[in-house]
Amino acid sequence: MVISQTGIVAASQVLASQAGAQILAKGGTAADAAIAANAVLGVVEPGMDGIGGDIFVLYREAKTGQFYGLNGSGWSPQGMTRRRYLDRKLKTMPQAGMESVTVPGCVDGWYKMHQRFGKLPWKQLFDAAIAYAEHGFPIQEMDAVHWASPRILSSEEGKRVFQPQGRPPAVGDIFRNPDLAKALRLIAAEGPKAFYQGEIAKAILATSHKLGGAMQASDLAEFSSEWVTPLSMEYRGWRVLELPPNGQGLAALLMLNIMERFTFHSPFSADDLHIKIEAMKLAYADVEAYVGDPRFADQPVTQLISKPYAAARAKLIQPTANCSAAPGMPAGSDTTYLAVVDKEGNVASWIQSVFSLWGSGVVVEGMGFPLQNRAGGFTLDPKHPSVVAPRKRPFHTIIPGFLDKGDLHIGFGIMGGANQPLAHAQFVSNLVDYGMNLQAALETPRFTKRSSSGCDVTIESRVGVQALQGLSARGHVLDVRREQSQRMGRGNAVLFNSKTHVNYGASDSRTDGAAIPEPVN
């Protein structure tokens, strides 16, 4: 772990961690540093995140000990109706192109966090991101892999901006994005107005109109992110916090509630892994059935995370794999995550994404950033809580997490679409059940699975032959990956000890990131 009496920024790319740490050294709060680091991530990992995407935040305020939640997920355009897609003879929601684009909530989310928890001037937070976009930066190893995606080649603007040499940049190549530098300067100077009503908004609308999209000026101008109350439950004496729907954080709480009914002995045990895999299937089945935008339908959240409901669900776990988990009956792609703790003990658990790698593949002309494809989280099933409708927020995969017990306050997150809740639960179990520290909890081998159905499980080879054989004997169909696979997501975590005022940080070895402490002036 990184251990410091000053603040720490843990992000998935070292330049972003460094930029955030520099903001802390200038007197910035955890919120200030997170915005600066996130802005840099949008430059250096543009296929993962950026101003064309959404944001969710869990924030612990040191002086009050209170937790705040921010839902910065954008809504669908007014013209995005179910009939629109049915008239196009579509049976499922598109996952790319302008028809998959919802309003990006990132910039408004940044601004609301800064207004409530920031200290430094807004404009100062974008200096590093603008400099990297304007003057360039060297491509890191994992970024080079992501850059080679065919989705960014689906538009001429994408080719022009992100493959100016007619090929993906290689490791160590210097990449510049002057169009994005322009957009960031506008945001730094004018705030969110530039994005939702000003020059950037005009560019988004022009791009949408050219491609036949539904976005209108009012869809952007009238959008606002939302303060929400975090959900929480107890896991063996630790308080675990997630954000409420329309995100899937509920799945992590459901999974942990079921896991709490069992005793675990080793992260490399087939017995332990089997229980966690089966708990995941039950939790995901519930989330797939019940979660959507709570403004459009009531959802049985309280009942789903209750201990009696978890006990009933846990009884369904058998010695062999369940290949068709069903939801219960309660009574009544790609992302970036960063964690920041400042020297005062404010903690930001911060996640931001354009959804799939390179989002919709649509790059805003003249502004150098891709738009997300979050409308792909809707469904055309009229009976489902996430059926597409105007001004509705789709089902979201990105979730920040938090663990709290006594003097220990941990902000954490692990990226990777549907992987995130089960990765959260594994991280929590590593800390609580096996007594690992932050770095070990992130690095320990993980499994992943993208849905509740089927007996397939993807798992890292480091769990060992005995565990793999034991899982196969229980009926799990294993897809064994290399020792450290990005399929398992990329995580970061920070811990503030409010008794000693010592901070701890960790960054997943599956990525190019680092936990960097605030330099001492």
| Backbone CA torsion sign across 174, 179, 184, 189 | positive
Q: What's at 104, amino acid-wise?
A: P
Token digits of residue 505: 């940080």
The tally of domains found in the chain comes to 1
Cα(49)–Cα(492) distance, integer angstroms: 16
Estimate the crossing angle of helix 249-259 against helix 307-314, to 10 degrees: 70
DSSP string, 90-123: -SS--SSSGGG-----HHHHHHHHHHHH--S-GG
Residue 454: the pLDDT is 83
Cα(491)–Cα(19) distance, integer angstroms: 18
Alpha helices per DSSP H over 172-260: 178-190, 192-196, 199-210, 217-221, 249-259
Residues 6+ apart with CB under 8 A from 278: 317, 318, 321, 322, 325
Active site residues per annotation: 335
DSSP state letter for 467: H
Residue 329: the pLDDT is 57
Strand blocks (E) in 126-179? 137-138, 174-175
Token digits of residue 373: 């494809």
Cα(127)–Cα(492) distance, integer angstroms: 24
H or E element, residue 61:
strand 54-61
Enclosing domain of residue 34: 1-445+490-521
Decide if 474 is inside a domain. no
Whole-angstrom CA distances from 385 to 317, 417, 480, 512 are 27, 19, 34, 37
Q: Which residue has the tokens 């793999």?
A: 468
Contact between 33 and 347 under an 8 Å Cβ cutoff? The reply is no
Each residue's pLDDT tens digit, 425-447 = 999 999 999 999 999 999 999 99
Please state the three-class secondary structure of 236-304 as a single string.
CCEEEEECCCCECHHHHHHHHHHHCCCCCCCCCCHHHHHHHHHHHHHHHHHHHHHCCCCCCCCCCHHHH
Decide if 122 is inside a domain. yes
Cα(165)–Cα(346) distance, integer angstroms: 43
Helix (H, G, I), strand (E, B) or coil at 291: coil
Residues 6+ apart with CB under 8 A from 244: 69, 228, 229, 230, 231, 250, 294, 301
Do β-strands 456-460 and 447-448 pair in parallel, antiparallel, or remain unpaired?
A: antiparallel
Token digits of residue 217: 């000026």
Q: Which residue has the tokens 């290689």?
A: 170
* pTM value surpassing 0.85: yes
Decide if 483 is inside a domain. no
Please state the three-class secondary structure of 406-434 as a single string.
CCEEEEEEECCHHHHHHHHHHHHHHHHCC
Decide if 509 is inside a domain. yes
Q: What is the CATH number of the domain that holds 292?
A: 3.60.20.40
Estimate the crossing angle of helix 106-117 against helix 30-44, to 10 degrees: 160
Contact between 73 and 105 under an 8 Å Cβ cutoff? The reply is yes
Decide if 479 is inside a domain. no
Q: Which residue has the tokens 């892994």?
A: 273
Residue 155: the pLDDT is 85
Cα(23)–Cα(235) distance, integer angstroms: 35
Cα(257)–Cα(216) distance, integer angstroms: 43
Cα(15)–Cα(129) distance, integer angstroms: 9
Decide if 3 is inside a domain. yes
Q: Which residue has the tokens 């776990």?
A: 317
> Rg of the chain's alpha carbons, rounded to an integer?
22
Estimate the crossing angle of helix 178-190 against helix 127-135, to 10 degrees: 160
Residue 331: the pLDDT is 46
Decide if 355 is inside a domain. yes
Sheet holding 477-481, edge to edge: 447-448, 456-460, 477-481
Helix (H, G, I), strand (E, B) or coil at 252: helix
Residue 332: the pLDDT is 41
Token digits of residue 347: 């903690």
Residues 6+ apart with CB under 8 A from 149: 47, 357, 358
Contact between 493 and 339 under an 8 Å Cβ cutoff? The reply is yes
Cα(162)–Cα(48) distance, integer angstroms: 13
Q: What are the backbone angles phi and psi of residue 177, rounded to the nearest 5°?
A: -140, 75
The rounded average pLDDT for each run of 10 residues, N- to C-terminus, in the chain (521 residues) is: 97 96 98 98 94 97 96 95 94 93 97 98 98 96 83 87 90 97 98 98 97 96 96 96 87 94 94 94 85 74 87 92 74 72 96 91 96 93 90 88 97 86 93 97 90 86 94 93 82 96 94 91 75
Cα(360)–Cα(96) distance, integer angstroms: 4
Decide if 137 is inside a domain. yes
Contact between 415 and 335 under an 8 Å Cβ cutoff? The reply is yes
DSSP state letter for 396: B
